Amino acid sequence: MTTYTARPIGQVALKELRSADDRGREIVPVTDEEGGAPLRCCLRRSAPGERIALVSYAPLRRWARETGVDPGAYDEQGPVFVHAEDCAGPADDRLPFTDAHRTVRRYSADGRILGGRLVEEPDGFGDAFREAFDDPAVALVHVRAVEYGCFLYEVRRD
């Protein structure tokens, strides 16, 4: 049985984002009074009282830079929540943020969108990832929120 691992934003990128985000803006930490923000650094929801920041993040651009490709018009950036300071990262290997409808968006090795799939049930992610990675042209997938389109995490072939 194949398992799929959610990849949080990497430590190097987090260090950069905590200085200036992908739009060049300085971080503005806030105390999250209510909790519940989906943190992309540790792939869990924030707890009340934690210091977090909303930053602009360009996941495909960063991946493309690592792999030497140009994502062209598919290069997009959007808001993500991260801890304002270093954190320990994910506590376990469970897939996070499966409590709502999500889109599994597929990308090719040259950074182009190859399609996507709506996942409506928490147990539907395995099928969506298997379907995506059965296509040899798929290099990675992004899991995104349906309601806002926000990037949640990345999954690659193991």
Whole domain around residue 66: which residue ranges? 11-83
Q: Are residues 79 and 106 in the same domain?
A: no
| 121 domain-assigned | yes
CB 101 within 8 A of CB 121: no
Angle at 7 between CA 86 and CA 104, to 5 degrees: 135
Can you name the residues that pair with 76 across neighbouring β-strands? none
List the one residue out of 31, 34, 88, 76 whose CA is nearest residue 54.
31
| 23 domain-assigned | yes
- Residues 6-18: pLDDT tens digits? 999 999 999 999 9
- Residues 90-138: pLDDT tens digits? 999 899 999 999 999 999 999 999 999 999 999 999 999 999 999 999 9
Query: Maximum distance among all alpha carbons in the chain?
Result: 45
Number of structural domains (the chain) is: 2
Q: Are residues 15 and 77 in the same domain?
A: yes
- pTM (2 d.p.): 0.93
| 37 domain-assigned | yes
| 97 domain-assigned | no
